[in-house]
Structure 1
Amino acid sequence: MNALQRFELFTLNDGEKAIEVVEDTKIPNAATIVVAKQDHTLANMIRGYLLKNPKVLFAGYKAPHPLDPHFILKIQTDGTSTPLEVLQETCNALIALVGKIDAKFREQFQQKELEIGLEEPFGAPGAGRLPRGEYAEPRRANAMDYLDF
């Protein structure tokens, strides 16, 4: 099969760089950045946050082939910052955002653990269960059925 081994999708080979920056000679304040061992997930997040920055005139990416685990990011700025500085700011902002999401998730998870107890992940064993063969009537605010007039 042509597909890479799973570990080859995220581990760098000897001498392989994670990020390679090439300054663009045809377009002012532009650079092409090749990010190894990453895919659309990271590329789209970076591109989206780059476009929110008022210093950025253009940001786009492409993944050349599904079997090649890298993407190419192109950035053009207005000249107040270099493309590499803007990329650094964007990555720092994304790291802070992911940290906030992680903290919020852990907070909500801890609150849920306190509500249901630590013994069982889904509450106390047997909670809400009836003996075999017995069925509970559904609870309704009013006793009328939807066919009752």
Structure 2
Amino acid sequence: MNAPDRFELFLLQDGEKKIVETVVNGMSNCSDFTIKKEDHTIGNLLSERLKQAPNVMMAGYKVAHPNVPELFIRVQTDGTVTPREALVNALKQLVAAYGQLGREFQKELALRQYADQGENGDGSGAQGGTY
């Protein structure tokens, strides 16, 4: 079979960089970023977050081929920040947002488990009713 081993889709090889920046010569304040071992999931999240930034004029992504775990993102800014700074800011915002989502999920899960224990009265945590 021609398909790569599954671990090659998400593990970096020795010496392989996660993100490589290439400045686009024909456009001002524009760079292409190649992100290894990623796909549409992070590409869509990142490009949409970049588009929300006031200093980003254009952001878009593509995945060249489904069997090649590589993501290409192009970012153009208005010049007040570099494309690299815009990308780093967007990544930091996403990490913060999903960290908060994870904390809220864990809190709600703990409250649900506590409520389920209270309904059963025996502390076993087993589901007592139908939903």
TM-score by length of 1: 0.80
Alpha-carbon distance between aligned partners in 1 of 2:75 and 2:59, rounded to the nearest angstrom = 5
Deviation at 1:39?
0.5
Q: Whose helix proportion is higher, 1 or 2? A: 2
The answer to whether residue 43 in structure 2 is matched with residue 38 in structure 1 is no
Alpha-carbon distance between aligned partners in 1 of 2:75 and 2:7, rounded to the nearest angstrom = 29
Alpha-carbon distance between aligned partners in 1 of 2:95 and 2:43, rounded to the nearest angstrom = 14
Alpha-carbon distance between aligned partners in 2 of 1:32 and 1:11, rounded to the nearest angstrom = 22
The alignment covers a number of residue pairs equal to: 125
Alpha-carbon distance between aligned partners in 2 of 1:96 and 1:128, rounded to the nearest angstrom = 37
Other-structure match for 1:137: none
Alpha-carbon distance between aligned partners in 2 of 1:29 and 1:82, rounded to the nearest angstrom = 6
Other-structure match for 1:25: 25
Q: Select the structure of larger CA radius of gyration.
A: 1
Q: What is the SS of the residue equivalent to 1:91?
A: helix
Q: Whose strand proportion is higher, 1 or 2? A: 2
Q: What is the SS of the residue equivalent to 2:8?
A: helix
Other-structure match for 2:93: 93
Q: Deviations over 1:76-96 (max 9, x none)?
A: 000000000000100000000
Structure 2 unpaired stretches of 5+:
118-122
Sequence identity percentage: 35
Equivalent residues in 2 for 1:40-119, closer than 5 Å: 40-117=40-117, 119=124
Deviation at 1:119?
2.2
Q: What is the SS of the residue equivalent to 2:76?
A: strand
Q: What is the SS of the residue equivalent to 2:81?
A: coil
Deviation at 1:2?
2.1
| Letter of the 1:10 counterpart | F
| Letter of the 1:53 counterpart | A
Structure 1 unpaired stretches of 5+:
130-149
Deviates more, 1:30-39 or 1:13-22: 13-22
Deviation at 1:128?
5.2
Measured on the aligned residues, the alpha-carbon RMSD in Å equals 1.4
